[in-house]
Amino acid sequence: MMSRQAFLCSLGSLYLSLLFVFLLMDVYARPANNSALKEKPADSKDENEILPPDHLNGIKMEMDGHLNKEFHQEVFLGKEMEEFEEDSEPRKNRKKLMVIFSKVDINNDKKIGAKEMQRWIMEKTDEHFQEAVEENKMHFRAVDPDGDGHVSWDEYKIKFLASKGFNEKEIAEKIRNNEELKIDEETQEVLDNLKDRWYQADNPPPDLLLNEEEFLSFLHPEHSRGMLKFMVKEIIRDLDQDGDKKLTLSEFISLPVGTVENQQAQDIDDDWVKDRRKEFEEVIDANHDGIVTMEELEEYMDPMNEYNALNEAKQMIAVADENQNHHLELEEILKYSEYFTGSKLMDYARNVHEEF
């Protein structure tokens, strides 16, 4: 009969043998790398450091022409937005919301008026700006390898392609020697669009080199009046169907080209169209002539426009103002918490009294 020690030794040998077999299977199962320039993909964090974000915090309209669905939460919560998660405990979210209410209510009259909400919106928008500025400092260092305070398009292009899984040294060498880069069509299209933005961010006199401030405009065009104009031109180009460089209501409520497979399937009565129609008629079309010009769209897109902030404050109050006194009480904000925070608070009426 086998001894306990012999059995354990035998079991250990079997385990090592199986481990060796699995390792061999793993090696041979891995797909071959068919691209001479590709290496293992960079993690998403590195990629996000140099790619302009698709979503701009505190902006009412995205760069693709879509309305920012999270805008209300962004300008009401600021940095606290991430703390309000759907699965968070309702009691904790209620307490956080009550603290925010007290901060907005600067005259301590237990209600929030339009001017108080306007001031708060401007503060939260500026908070998003400051966060972008701090992040930009880190991102700029990542793409400025020689630390000279300027980044050339080629330097950025190398870092961008490296973030997409290309071999950075080989890409750099090919660009230095003016050799052709074998890049897939999709990546090349992204590069072409980024190059347009790069040129727009290059303030006069143009030298094709971006300093830290210009790089901020490249990543966050909402920081620059010139880049805001560029964003407006891009949006109108995508939505303007008759080429007059203006937008009618029908053009504005149509989806940007390529965003849906079946345009006819878009229901004209859905919430998406209703939101856009209301935004067009009540906010963007300032003179209510049925036409939105580039100038009107630019004013609408400007996140630091005080008139827009006041208008937004009035809209936000109107959503939850059940007693029609043009102010928001705590109970109203708690009841309509999903609009302000994205988080629905259950049993708000009963629980609000427990908190006092």
pTM of the model: 0.72
**Taking residues 163-170, what's their average pLDDT?**
90
Residues in contact with 327: Cβ distance below 8 Å, sequence separation at least 6, in sequence order = 111, 112, 113, 317, 321
Q: Convert the pLDDT of each residue in 72-129 to its tens digit.
A: 899 999 888 877 765 567 788 888 999 999 999 999 999 999 999 999 999 999 998 8
More confident residue, 235 or 271: 235
The pair of three-digit structure tokens given for residue 195, joined into one six-digit string: 């190059």
Q: Convert the pLDDT of each residue in 254-266 to its tens digit.
A: 865 555 445 555 4
Tell me the sheet residues that pair with 210.
151
Q: Average the pLDDT over each of 39-48, 150-159, 211-220 and give the range with the smallest value.
A: 39-48
Give residue 85's pLDDT. Answer: 67
More confident residue, 64 or 292: 292
Task: Give the chain's radius of gyration (CA, Å).
Answer: 27
Residues in contact with 170: Cβ distance below 8 Å, sequence separation at least 6, in sequence order = 36, 37
Residue corresponding to tokens 């210009």: 214
Positive or negative torsion for Cα 208, 213, 218, 219 = positive
Q: Are 137 and 211 in contact (CB under 8 A)?
A: no
Q: Are 345 and 93 in contact (CB under 8 A)?
A: yes
